[in-house]
Amino acid sequence: HRVDRRQRQMCIRDRAMSGHKAATKALEVLQDAKVEFTQHSFPAGQDHFGDNAVAQLTHLDADQIMKTLVVASGKDLAIAVLPVSHHLSLKKVAKAWGVKSAEMADPHKAQLATGYIPGGITALGTKKPMTVFLDETATLWDTIAVSGGRRGLDVELAPSDYIAVTKATVADVLQ
């Protein structure tokens, strides 16, 4: 089930015309880019935020709902975005990134670099510019859901718009 294009355009136009300030930096980035998106709010839960999003966003296939993970190579950080239902391959991320190896970033460092708390981290509107890798399977869908910048907030948008706004590199990053 998809929200029809006209409804989304009206929603975006209404938000822009109302002068309404976006609830998060991520939403502000999408509004400024004039990207069509649908906002989904739901109870955040206490942990397993991606699994919680899958349980709440029942109109989407689990593989359309993305998780955002921050990875590190030395002092450098990057973002990997992949379906919640899959595991990240650190070797494949390192290869796509052009580094020798990658590991999961320290959550505190991830929060400082992105400006978002774990469970709400998104590649949209990060504090510091970061390299973003979007798993290639995301491009198979008309829309994907990604974090909207806080726990319990996802945005549904076209993968092509996400790629354009985040300057993501499409790569195979699944285990």
Determine the average pLDDT of the residues in 7-21. 44
Q: Where are the beta strands (DSSP E) in 34-143?
A: 38-41, 66-73, 76-83, 103-104, 131-135
In this predicted model, what pLDDT tens digit does every residue of 156-169 receive, in sequence order? 999 999 999 999 99
This prediction's pTM: 0.84
Q: How many residues does the chain have?
A: 175
CA 94, CA 101: separation in Å to the nearest integer?
5
pLDDT value for 53: 78
pLDDT value for 13: 39
Is 12 or 37 the better-scoring residue by pLDDT? Answer: 37
Determine the average pLDDT of the residues in 40-55. 74
- Mean residue pLDDT of the chain comes to 87
Residues of the chain with pLDDT > 90, as a percent, come to 71
pLDDT value for 46: 67
**Contacts of residue 150, Cβ cutoff 8 Å, sequence gap at least 6:** 23, 24, 44, 116, 117, 120
